[in-house]
A and B are shown apart, each in its own frame.
Chain A
Amino acid sequence: MDRTTEKQLLRLLVGELSESKAREIRQRLENEGELRQEFAALQERWDSLDLPPLQSVHPSFTSRVVRQAVTGPSVGAVGLGRSTPLWTRATAAVALAGGILVGALLVSPSESEDWTAWDAVELTQAEVYWETMSVSSDDLVQEDLP
């Protein structure tokens, strides 16, 4: 079947054909078995598409929207949106970057100390573990000997 006919079937299905054209296609459907079969399959595919029925919106939604519109954004929702001047946003970005940098400088030494301490603990634990394992291994070997 050619593409034009397929599109016309779809148009018939969704009600996009003029009355005269629709009549013409319906006539063809009566006479042509293959076309009829194709249209039935298309219709079935269309009808098989199903989503949950929509529910009415609760009246509180209306009140919320109207209140929000009339009073504007709530205090908590204020941010640096598109309406904020560019210089304000740029200043905020620079301040944020500066804060991160200062924070990193202040935090680094203590973190470094912590890592050293952690390394020391790790070494000690590793040594203890290794000694324990060595002893155990020796013991096992000795027990296996005749």
Chain B
Amino acid sequence: MGRSRRGAGFGRVEGFTNVVMPNVLSDETSVSDWQLLSLTAKGDEDAFRRLVERHQDRLVGLCQRLLGDREEAMDAAQEVFLKTYGRAGSLEPKGELFTWMYRVATNHCLNRIRRRKLAQFLSLTPDPEGEGANLDPADDAPDALATLESRRRWRKTRQEIEALPESQRVVLILARFEGLPYRQIGEILGISEGAVESRLFRAMRRLQGAQESAASGVSR
């Protein structure tokens, strides 16, 4: 249950290189995201493929944690990649490309959640969040009891997270599950590190309150 703090795999900024080398993609680790994007802008389909392959797991993962649904997360991630492709020629090589992609993904998912809530409100259908969230465990679950316990824990976590205000929820997910430092969360959300800290602090306080009231409800 430990978190992948730091060393989370963010590529370092290596600047924007306009020089196209014939063998630039032969050494995967030496090619920065910005270089791949530059090649993509020049019509290099393979460079874009590499960019997608490099980030698809984490981007789909982030969307899944925000949306609570695997299929919807894949749709959302696809739209982020398409947006990246569309902006390949115009994006300024500033900071880390993946931070920008995370920002787009976060905003996109939040918009989806808002639209979903509005649609549910208008159609008066029950909110599938929490109940409908894709909580199927991986196939390598050791036994049924452990699977059941994991599901119970995941459902509880999702319910607790979804009870948080949107601003706190996003910060908590980025800090707890994405393992991002305050600085990077601030960059993604366009807020200061102090604001990140305050939101995370308030989120943890709310969780404490929710857990305490749940515990007192059980003991009554």
Contact = CB atoms under 8 A, between A and B. Distances in A.
B208 interface: yes
A50 B201 contact: no
Interface string B44-65: 0100110011001100110011
Given A49-B176, A51-B158, A65 B52 contact: yes
B45 A62 contact: no
Contacts of A46: 176, 204
Contact of B78 (A15, A51, A64): A64
A140 B157 CA distance: 66
A68 interface: yes
A59 to B, nearest CB: 9
Contact of A50 (B1, B86, B172): B1
Q: Label chain B's interface by main secondary structure.
A: helix
B153 interface: yes
B26 to A, nearest CB: 19
B34 interface: no
Interface in A1-60: 6-7, 10-11, 14-16, 41-42, 45-57
A96 to B, nearest CB: 20
A68 B79 CA distance: 10
A62 B157 contact: no
B170 to A, nearest CB: 14
A57 B56 contact: yes
Contacts of B211: 45, 48
B68 to A, nearest CB: 9
Interface stretch (B10-18, B90-98, B133-141): B133-141
Given A15-B5, A57-B60, A69 B81 contact: yes
A62 B1 CA distance: 29
A15 to B, nearest CB: 5
B24 interface: no
Interface residues of B, number: 45
B36 interface: no
Given A66-B48, A66-B52, A57 B175 contact: no
Interface string B61-95: 10011000000001000100110011000000000
A64 B75 CA distance: 11
Contacts of A51: 65, 154, 157-158, 177
Contacts of A6: 201
Contacts of B182: 14, 16
Interface string A66-98: 101110000000000000000000000000000
Given A10-B204, A42-B204, A50-B157, 14 more contacts: A14-B200, A16-B181, A45-B207, A46-B204, A49-B207, A52-B138, A52-B150, A55-B138, A61-B56, A61-B60, A62-B49, A65-B56, A65-B81, A70-B48
The 3 closest A-B pairs by CB, nearest first: A69-B85, A54-B61, A57-B56
29 contacts: A6-B201, A10-B201, A10-B204, A14-B175, A14-B181, A15-B6, A15-B181, A16-B182, A16-B197, A45-B211, A49-B160, A50-B1, A50-B150, A51-B177, A52-B136, A52-B150, A53-B137, A53-B138, A54-B60, A55-B138, A56-B57, A57-B60, A61-B74, A61-B78, A62-B53, A65-B78, A65-B82, A68-B78, A69-B85
